[in-house]
């Protein structure tokens, strides 16, 4: 069957009318770049404050962003009425992330954000009593607890697959204007100056090719992470890649170019999956995250024991969801910074016991053997809602005959020791990309103050662009940033856009189109991407030295000035992909520069604070900040005081 109508690879005309020479001006009070969970929440909040809000997204906003493919549970609701710990305590005892004020803001808003989502129409409770009397259910609220069944700190969401359509509708109803398939390529600053107030942004349409100029009093970057800097996305990655491929760091790159400070980029962590050895995320047998706490049996049917974080063997399935002695609650190691809140896991010496023959590979996730409520929770509430699993796993597997009441799902064969590493289950063997990643270490982000505003006046961040990963943090910081950006816009005039800056950006954006057809324009965006990943693999790997990192910068520059000037774009889609490579040059250089700053700081002994970086002309500056700077000077004395101060206007309705 001619499924794809392209058997001959024949060229067809681009299906949308194209007007590369047309410029469209759009005026807004608040411009939101990236319409994912954070962006939609920001748009809702700012619109409700009476502001004219414009959201741009490379994709259709109804399902765009990482959360657009669904979500299964909502992390860190420490503001819930029965919370075991206050956000203040949680942050004070937690890990020093270098921007704890930002983590505080995120944690402070997760419960309210969840309640807001319910008002907008998200199904969050077990209203129909499917899980009545099950340990996962909180009887008082009808919410389903995740991980921890004693305390409610994370919530399973019945309707998580529909979170994006609900937020999309919410933003539309609130009056936000949407520009879909518009790729924002740069920020515009007052006088075109680096480090000056942000007055808008430029971009182009991925369907019609038109040039867009957004004039705005304030701008929010909610464009997700900077992904795929180390690995070219091979064509057989299938369903393994967790992050939306549209997340390639445009927000970070444009903020950097405009002069915004970035933090923690020396962590240089790429993201996981996205390699040809990986498995469908959540689509293989495993005991963690979405599949927690699924029993695992060996190939002979012998169950692998579980142990709690203190190393005590757990004798029942129920015990896996109860905090161990001394644990305040069981959290998610991914988004919570508190130490000692890890989940129970398979016995720690499983690798050894496999090697000595006690357990035989492969392992199998014994859904059939789980108590009914747990089975329906995993292969239902969780897999039925989690990102990219409703159709490509839940539907596809059941249509292939997989029956959770009768069957066990295989776990990939790994080096036995790897079963102790969360994520290794998904990444597959050989774990080739390991030296290029930090395990759950994050990757660095755009820095911000107590208002989630960057050092550039009028520029705000929300969600993963500000290092706030996960659905609950994206939404809570989205609402917060939307409010702060609306307040900023209320106090300011529409800034003047610099004509020269606009002309230069237009020149840059359309260069690949102009050169298409010329004899030396034979480099595809894929080759260019693959080329930049080689630089990062070689020069930003596990072993880093200043000469190697500097070599990487030189290498990037060389590719940018040679092959980067030979890349063709035959239509607006390809143009977007070429410009993403331009973004990769910038993002990769930030990683390399930040690593150099870090090594140099270690050499001079300046490691007792935090290192930020920013671009000043051609030079990269290193900015040192003292420990806990977010509670010093005008920000004394405590977290709550600062938070309350920022919320004053919102509460008084001004």
Q: Which of 159, 170, 224, 482 binds other proteins (CB under 8 A)?
A: 159
| Calpha distance 299→354 (Å, rounded) | 11
> Does residue 290 have a cis peptide bond before it, meaning omega lies within 30 degrees of 0?
no
Q: At which residue do the structure tokens 């509670």 appear? A: 631
Closest CA relative to residue 168, chosen from 26, 32, 41, 34: 41
| 1 binds other proteins, rule: CB under 8 A | yes
Q: Which of residues 248-277 bind other proteins (CB under 8 A)?
A: 276
For the CB of residue 547, give the shortest distance to other proteins in the complex, in Å. 36
Q: Which stretch binds other proteins (CB under 8 A): 331-339, 388-396, 468-476, 536-544?
A: 388-396
| Calpha distance 410→396 (Å, rounded) | 16
- Kindly give, in sequence order, each residue whose CB lies less than 8 Å from that of residue 187, ignoring residues fewer than 6 positions away: 198, 200, 201, 219, 254, 255, 257, 258, 456, 459
| 508 binds other proteins, rule: CB under 8 A | no
* Residue number, 15 or 326, with CB nearest to other proteins: 15
Could you tell me the two tokens for 334? 């991914």
| 5 binds other proteins, rule: CB under 8 A | yes
| CB-CB contact of 385 with 157 (8 Å) | yes
Could you tell me the two tokens for 595? 């690593």
Q: Which of 94, 109, 209, 495 binds other proteins (CB under 8 A)?
A: 209
Q: Which of 133, 236, 316, 491 binds other proteins (CB under 8 A)?
A: 236
Q: Which of 293, 387, 470, 478 binds other proteins (CB under 8 A)?
A: 387
| Calpha distance 101→104 (Å, rounded) | 5
**Counting beta carbons within 10 angstroms of the beta carbon of residue 402, is it exposed (0 to 12), middle (13 to 18) or buried (19 or more)?**
middle
**Counting beta carbons within 10 angstroms of the beta carbon of residue 301, is it exposed (0 to 12), middle (13 to 18) or buried (19 or more)?**
exposed
Closest CA relative to residue 338, chosen from 76, 113, 152, 151: 76
| 142 binds other proteins, rule: CB under 8 A | no
| 506 binds other proteins, rule: CB under 8 A | no
Total residues binding other proteins (CB under 8 A) = 92
Query: How many residues does the structure list for the chain?
Result: 654
Question: What's CA 626's distance to the chain center, in Å?
Answer: 27
Binding to other proteins by CB under 8 A, coded x per residue (else -) over 570-589, reads xxxx----------------
* Residue number, 362 or 547, with CB nearest to other proteins: 362
Closest CA relative to residue 66, chosen from 102, 101, 40, 28: 40
| 279 binds other proteins, rule: CB under 8 A | yes
User: Of all helices (H) and strands (E), which one includes residue 265?
Assistant: none
For the CB of residue 317, give the shortest distance to other proteins in the complex, in Å. 16
Q: What is the CA radius of gyration of the chain?
A: 25
Which stretches does DSSP call E strand in 497-634? 609-616, 619-626
* Residue number, 58 or 101, with CB nearest to other proteins: 58
| Calpha distance 180→190 (Å, rounded) | 26
Q: Which of residues 304-343 bind other proteins (CB under 8 A)?
A: none
3-class DSSP state for residue 4? coil
Q: Which of residues 69-98 bind other proteins (CB under 8 A)?
A: 69
Residues in a beta bridge with 271? none
Could you tell me the two tokens for 51? 């502001």
Q: Which of residues 108-137 bind other proteins (CB under 8 A)?
A: 123, 126-128, 130
Closest CA relative to residue 370, chosen from 330, 321, 428: 321
Q: Which of 94, 170, 283, 287 binds other proteins (CB under 8 A)?
A: 283
Q: Which of 331, 384, 531, 564 binds other proteins (CB under 8 A)?
A: 384
For the CB of residue 68, give the shortest distance to other proteins in the complex, in Å. 7
3-class DSSP state for residue 648? helix
Residues in a beta bridge with 30? 53, 218
| Calpha distance 453→643 (Å, rounded) | 14
| 195 binds other proteins, rule: CB under 8 A | no
Q: Which stretch binds other proteins (CB under 8 A): 113-121, 194-202, 398-406, 606-614?
A: 398-406
Question: What's CA 205's distance to the chain center, in Å?
Answer: 24
Binding to other proteins by CB under 8 A, coded x per residue (else -) over 587-626, reads ----------------------------------------
Q: Which of 284, 452, 579, 611 binds other proteins (CB under 8 A)?
A: 284
Q: Which of 111, 179, 204, 394 binds other proteins (CB under 8 A)?
A: 394
Q: Which of 246, 275, 443, 483 binds other proteins (CB under 8 A)?
A: 246
| 231 binds other proteins, rule: CB under 8 A | no
Q: Which of residues 15-34 bind other proteins (CB under 8 A)?
A: 15, 17-21
| 402 binds other proteins, rule: CB under 8 A | yes
Q: At which residue do the structure tokens 């924002």 appear? A: 184
Which stretches does DSSP call E strand in 279-333? 296-297, 306-307, 313-314
> Does residue 363 have a cis peptide bond before it, meaning omega lies within 30 degrees of 0?
no
Q: Which of residues 352-371 bind other proteins (CB under 8 A)?
A: 364, 366, 368-369
* Residue number, 58 or 544, with CB nearest to other proteins: 58
Q: Which of 241, 292, 612, 643 binds other proteins (CB under 8 A)?
A: 241
Q: Which stretch binds other proteins (CB under 8 A): 279-287, 445-453, 528-536, 548-556?
A: 279-287
For the CB of residue 398, give the shortest distance to other proteins in the complex, in Å. 5
For the CB of residue 431, give the shortest distance to other proteins in the complex, in Å. 16
Q: Which of 513, 549, 578, 595 binds other proteins (CB under 8 A)?
A: 513
Q: Which of residues 52-71 bind other proteins (CB under 8 A)?
A: 58-60, 62-64, 68-69
For the CB of residue 150, give the shortest distance to other proteins in the complex, in Å. 23
Q: Which of 230, 263, 488, 510 binds other proteins (CB under 8 A)?
A: 510
* Residue number, 366 or 498, with CB nearest to other proteins: 366
């Amino acid at each position: 069957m001619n499924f794809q109508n392209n058997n001959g690879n024949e060229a067809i005309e681009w299906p949308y009318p194209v007007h590369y020479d047309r410029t469209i001006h759009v005026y807004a009070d608040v411009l939101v770049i990236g319409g994912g969970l954070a962006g939609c929440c920001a748009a809702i909040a700012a619109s409700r404050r009476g502001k004219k809000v414009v959201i741009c997204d490379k994709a259709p906003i109804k399902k765009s962003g990482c959360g657009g493919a669904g979500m299964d549970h909502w992390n860190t609701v420490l503001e819930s009425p029965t919370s075991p710990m206050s956000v203040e305590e949680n942050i004070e005892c937690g890990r020093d992330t270098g921007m704890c004020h930002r983590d505080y803001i995120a944690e402070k808003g997760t419960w309210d954000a969840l309640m807001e989502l319910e008002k907008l129409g998200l199904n969050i409770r077990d209203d129909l009593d499917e899980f009545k009397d099950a340990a996962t259910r909180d009887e008082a609220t009808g919410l389903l607890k995740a991980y921890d069944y004693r305390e409610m700190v994370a919530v399973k969401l019945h309707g998580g697959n529909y979170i994006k359509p609900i937020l999309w509708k919410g933003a539309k109803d609130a009056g936000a204007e949407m520009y879909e398939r518009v790729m924002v390529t740069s920020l515009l600053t007052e006088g075109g100056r680096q480090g000056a107030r942000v007055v808008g942004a430029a971009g182009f349409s991925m369907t019609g090719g038109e040039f867009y100029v957004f004039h705005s009093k304030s701008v929010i970057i909610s464009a997700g992470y900077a992904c795929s800097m180390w690995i070219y996305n091979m064509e057989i990655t299938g369903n393994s890649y967790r992050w939306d491929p549209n997340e390639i760091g445009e927000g970070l790159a444009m903020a950097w170019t405009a002069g915004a400070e970035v933090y923690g980029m020396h962590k240089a962590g790429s993201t996981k999956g996205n390699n040809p050895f990986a498995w469908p995320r959540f689509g293989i047998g495993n005991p963690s995250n979405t599949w927690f706490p699924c029993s695992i049996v060996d190939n002979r049917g012998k169950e692998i024991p579980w142990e709690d974080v203190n190393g005590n063997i757990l004798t029942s399935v129920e015990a896996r969801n109860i905090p161990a002695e001394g644990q305040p609650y069981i959290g998610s190691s991914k988004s919570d910074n508190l130490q000692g809140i890890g989940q129970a896991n398979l016995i720690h010496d499983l690798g050894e016991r496999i090697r000595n023959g006690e357990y035989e590979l492969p392992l199998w996730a014994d859904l059939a053997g789980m108590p009914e409520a747990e089975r329906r929770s995993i292969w239902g509430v969780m897999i039925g809602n989690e990102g990219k699993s409703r159709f490509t796993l839940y539907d596809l597997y059941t249509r292939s005959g997989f029956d959770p009441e009768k069957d066990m799902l295989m776990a990939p064969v790994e080096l036995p020791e790897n079963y102790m590493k969360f994520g290794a289950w998904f990444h597959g063997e050989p774990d080739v990309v390991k030296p290029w990643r930090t395990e759950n270490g994050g990757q660095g982000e755009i820095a911000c103050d107590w208002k989630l505003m960057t050092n550039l006046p009028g520029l705000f961040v929300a969600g993963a662009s500000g290092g706030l990963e996960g659905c609950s943090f994206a939404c809570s910081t989205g609402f917060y940033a939307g409010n702060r950006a609306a307040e900023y816009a209320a106090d300011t005039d529409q800034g003047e856009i610099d004509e020269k800056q606009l002309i230069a950006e237009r020149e840059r954006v359309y260069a690949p189109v102009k050169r298409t057809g010329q004899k030396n324009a034979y480099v595809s965006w894929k080759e260019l991407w693959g080329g930049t990943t080689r630089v990062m693999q070689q020069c930003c790997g596990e072993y880093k030295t200043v000469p190697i990192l500097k070599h990487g910068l030189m290498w990037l520059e060389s590719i940018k000035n040679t092959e980067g000037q030979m890349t063709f774009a035959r239509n607006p889609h390809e143009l977007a992909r070429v410009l993403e490579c331009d973004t990769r040059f910038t993002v990769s250089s930030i990683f390399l520069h930040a690593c150099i700053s870090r090594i140099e700081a270690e050499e001079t002994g300046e490691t007792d604070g935090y290192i930020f970086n920013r671009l000043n002309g051609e030079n990269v500056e290193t900015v040192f900040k003292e420990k806990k700077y977010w509670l010093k000077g005008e920000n004394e004395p405590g977290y709550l005081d600062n938070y309350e101060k920022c919320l004053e206007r919102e509460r008084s309705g001004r």
